[in-house]
Structure 1
Amino acid sequence: MTSTAARTSPASPDDTYVLLHTTGRIGHITLNRPQALNALTHPMVRRIDEALTAWEHDPAVETVVISGAGERGLCAGGDIRAIHEDARTGGRASADFWRDEYRLNARIARYPKPYVALMDGIVMGGGVGISAHGSVRIVTERSRIAMPETGIGFVPDVGGTYLLALAPGELGTHLALTGAPVGAADALLCGLADHHVPSAALGALVADLAELPVRDALARHVRPAPPGVLAGRREWIDACYAADTVEEIVRRLLGHGSPEAKEAAETLLAKSPTSLKVTLAALRRARHLGPLERVLDQEYRISCAALTGPDLVEGIRAQVVDKDRAPRWRPATLAEVTDADVQRFFAPLGELPELGLAGPEPTPEVAW
């Protein structure tokens, strides 16, 4: 059966990138851009939101399922080639995209019906935003979940700093700064997922979700995840990443003695120094900001500020456009990134409208 959302969405060439249908009691969203690993465009974000609007008020749809077409994964993130061109030319299309994308992330987190995300294969950046905020997050033995933004001169967004700030100990700091991908068990440990289902069983799970309540369908297919690695590394991760500065984190990692800690330090030293410092500040702030909406408001400021800096353009050039893997960061070292450089990313946007998901900021009390 074709869903109400599919029938009423305006026709456009981008409609084929998001397929919508209903089967039994589920509304199924399929990201259908496998040639780009289902990377999100602005029209794709709008179409997902339209589907959620239609199905929220459709009593025949009891559960929403989101998955990705192709064999490689759910979603590799946003369309960073488009972001590169926008940042390079001083445009505003990326800010408009992020505004709708972050609102969609917040909506998913508050959606009143079960939202089941099939996080099979690669799930990165914006792919985390459309899955890890859902109420039922399924990983498989093929899952590779990451927020790799520091490697392209950017900062974890789509609520990523909110999710990683909630991870046990300093695991989230490690993942945010290094951009390291995690498998099923580590995603469960970090609170990025809820259940492990073997990849081969996902089709049967979806078929059961069409006929059964979510809990009953899950009971048929959830299995223990293959072993992860992060639990055995908690000692050095918690000790090293608890430092107040990126410089001190790197110093502790290099001095720890563990080969994995040294490898993490070397990974950090290859990332954008500005992105590392802004990411650490964003994570620390996220721990105290409160609800997701307030963290998304902060991330929107950071993302818009990144558009006007040199590292986002350079990072995407080096990793995606020219693929020389030799970015020339500015500033080039952690020591050259000042506190003022970092604070610029958290400043009010001025002429550009704020995201405003959490409402107006409270007025400071005045002592008379």
Structure 2
Amino acid sequence: MKTIKGPGVFLAQFAGESAPFNTLAGMASWAAEKGFKGVEIPSWNTNLIDLHRAAESQTYADEILGVLNEYGLTLTDLASHLQGQLVALHPAFDLPADSFAPAALRNNPEERQRWATEQLKMAAKASRRLGLDKHVTFSGTLLWPFLYPYPQWPEGLIEEGFDELVRRWMPILNVFDEQGVDVCYEIHPTEDLHDGLTFERFLEKTGNHSRCNMMYDPSHLVLQSIDYLAFIDHYHQRIKAFHVKDAEFRPNGKTGAYGGYQPWTSRAGRFRSPGDGQIDFAAIFSSLTGYNFDGWAVLEWECCFKNPEDGAREGALFINDKIIHVTERSFDDFCKSYADQSLNRKIIGI
């Protein structure tokens, strides 16, 4: 067995335009002070990383690692959720997601998609230069508006949607393969890969591509009423990244999983700071450890109630307390009987 690394923190929810949250050095200092040992960098945040330079310049990549090392931090991985979203975007989301792309590409879906595809390819190269073997992203969504089968789907609609999703992602997956980096899709509502069955469908259509993997975030499973522990049993071989985010799902006589267009504080399903929700993280850490997961436990902090500074500080402690430092010997070694074939034969009566 292997010990899970951590605690790490995803910087996206904390980054901002004022110090210390507007530079990598500032965020590194902040993260170290909070007790984190690793950081996940959002590749779309140009205050923290120039993705093009990181893909092309080993000197620049080494500078990024040097900044983190100065504060005793490790780079856990890069994330490209916003760019991944734009690789495959249904027209219904054109305007809501338009701000994910540079201003010059807005209201231009074709150019925006090409840009997003190139961003992912640069992320693969940057990851290699940074010594990483995993990358976290979103699959994008072509089919989410048709989640519920009414009006009835035209025959072949879902098949065509997944075929197109694969057509867009295969060239990206192949670049990641060339760079020796796994793509870890975050299984997430609004994404076409939002549960185990959708991931399986996509994976099969890629020919079981070795670089097609997943990022495990139990909060998104709880809000869909999926058994998040059994999910690990099913997919542990493909789980290569792990976000620690808590959630609670409290359906009532008026609303449930769809949320009734309510704000986060009023939804039946909502995200919480680690330890404040319903997720059994002790069981999750035990399961992942048992399956030899050797990646990072990374806090993705999202909570509709708690102050983010408290959430970060408590989150680092929470993860640190849940990490199981694996034993090098069995607890019952003191009464172990050593190998003796003749004794074994006597014991079973032969």
Report the TM-score, using the length of structure 2 for normalisation.
Answer: 0.29
Bigger RCO of structures 1 and 2 (CA < 8 A, at least 6 apart): 2
Structure with greater Cα Rg:
2
